[in-house]
């Protein structure tokens, strides 16, 4: 047996059935979607900034270690250059200076 189709009496409006949102529901759904996407983009941006800051910190630590090594080398070189033996040798070789004879020394009172 075939059922006859219900043609209705035309009292329902087109599009007013289940599955459609009202104006307030549409606005609320749109606001939630905008809030979700804004949160997603903000979270992504802060993650990228955190990663970038991490790289900058690592680079700064590497530069700091290089400066510490350079400082150690400079302290060693400074102490070597201040050594009396090296100074006497440089004075003799580079400038032709010699240790004065006792008769050449004049004590100023």
Which domain range does residue 69 map to? 23-93
pTM of the predicted model, to two decimals? 0.53
Among residues 71, 89, 93, which one has the least CA distance to residue 81?
89
Among residues 66, 67, 68, 70, which one has the least CA distance to residue 78?
70
71 within a domain of the structure (yes/no):
yes
Residue 59 has pLDDT above 70, yes or no: yes
66 within a domain of the structure (yes/no):
yes
Give the pLDDT band of residue 8 (cuts 50, 70, 90): low
74 within a domain of the structure (yes/no):
yes
Please report, rounded to a whole number, the percentage of residues in the chain having pLDDT higher than 90. 61
2 within a domain of the structure (yes/no):
no
67 within a domain of the structure (yes/no):
yes
Q: How many domains does the structure of the chain reveal?
A: 1
101 within a domain of the structure (yes/no):
no
Residue 103 has pLDDT above 60, yes or no: yes
């Amino acid at each position: 047996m075939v059922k006859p189709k219900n043609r209705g009496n035309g009292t329902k409006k087109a599009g007013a059935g289940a599955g459609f949102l009202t104006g307030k529901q549409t606005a609320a759904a749109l606001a939630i979607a905008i809030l979700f996407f804004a949160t997603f983009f903000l979270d992504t941006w802060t993650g990228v900034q955190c990663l970038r800051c991490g790289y900058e910190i690592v680079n700064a630590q590497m530069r700091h270690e290089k400066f510490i090594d350079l400082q150690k080398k400079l302290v060693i070189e400074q102490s070597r250059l201040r050594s009396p033996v090296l100074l006497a040798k440089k004075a003799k070789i580079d400038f032709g200076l010699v240790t004065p004879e006792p008769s050449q020394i004049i004590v100023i009172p």
